[in-house]
Amino acid sequence: MKKASLILALLVTAAPLASIAQSQNELPTNLSGITTTTAPPEGFDALRASDADLAYYGFPPRPNDYSGDYKSWAEAITASHERIVPVLEQTNIYHRPAAQSPSPAANEAASFNWSGAVHTDSAKKYGKSSYDYVYSYVTVPTAQQATGKCTGGWDYASAWVGIDGWANNDVLQDGIEFDAYCKGKTKASFYSAWFEWFPFSEVRIGGFPIKPGQKFFIEIWSTTATLGHAYIVNENEKKAVQVNFTAPKGTKLIGSSAEWITERPGVNGGLATLTNYGSQTYSDVHGETFGGTAIDAADSFPVVMLDNNRKVISVPTLLSATSFKVQDTGSAK
Give the range of the structural domain holding residue 19, as residue numbers without chain letter: 5-328
Provide, rounded to the nearest whole percent, the portion of the chain with pLDDT above 70: 91
Residues 6+ apart with CB under 8 A from 131: 121, 123, 163, 255, 256, 257, 258, 287, 288, 289, 290
**Domain CATH code at residue 156:** 2.60.120.700
CA angle, 88 as apex, 191 and 258 as ends, to 5°?
70
In this structure, is residue 333 part of a structural domain? no
Determine the Cα–Cα distance for residues 168 and 22; give it in Å rounded to an integer.
29
**pLDDT tops 90 at residue 298:** yes
Residues 6+ apart with CB under 8 A from 263: 95, 113, 114, 115, 157, 158, 159, 160, 305
In this structure, is residue 85 part of a structural domain? yes
Q: What is the pLDDT of residues 37-89, one digit of tens each?
A: 999 999 999 999 999 999 999 999 999 765 578 999 999 999 999 999 999 99
In this structure, is residue 158 part of a structural domain? yes
In this structure, is residue 317 part of a structural domain? yes
**pLDDT tops 80 at residue 138:** yes
In this structure, is residue 79 part of a structural domain? yes
In this structure, is residue 218 part of a structural domain? yes
Q: What is the pLDDT of residues 229-266, one digit of tens each?
A: 999 999 999 999 999 999 999 999 999 999 999 999 99
Phi (first) and psi of residue 46, to 5 degrees: -65, -30
Q: Which of 17-31, 107-121, 177-191 bottoms out in mean pLDDT, i.e. has the lowest? A: 17-31
Prediction pTM value? 0.91
In this structure, is residue 103 part of a structural domain? yes
Are 30 and 206 in contact, with CB atoms under 8 Å apart? no
Look at residue 146 in the predicted model and tell me its pLDDT.
Answer: 81
**pLDDT tops 60 at residue 333:** no
Count up the domains in the chain and report the number: 1
In this structure, is residue 227 part of a structural domain? yes
Look at residue 149 in the predicted model and tell me its pLDDT.
Answer: 82
Phi (first) and psi of residue 101, to 5 degrees: -145, 150
Determine the Cα–Cα distance for residues 222 and 120; give it in Å rounded to an integer.
17
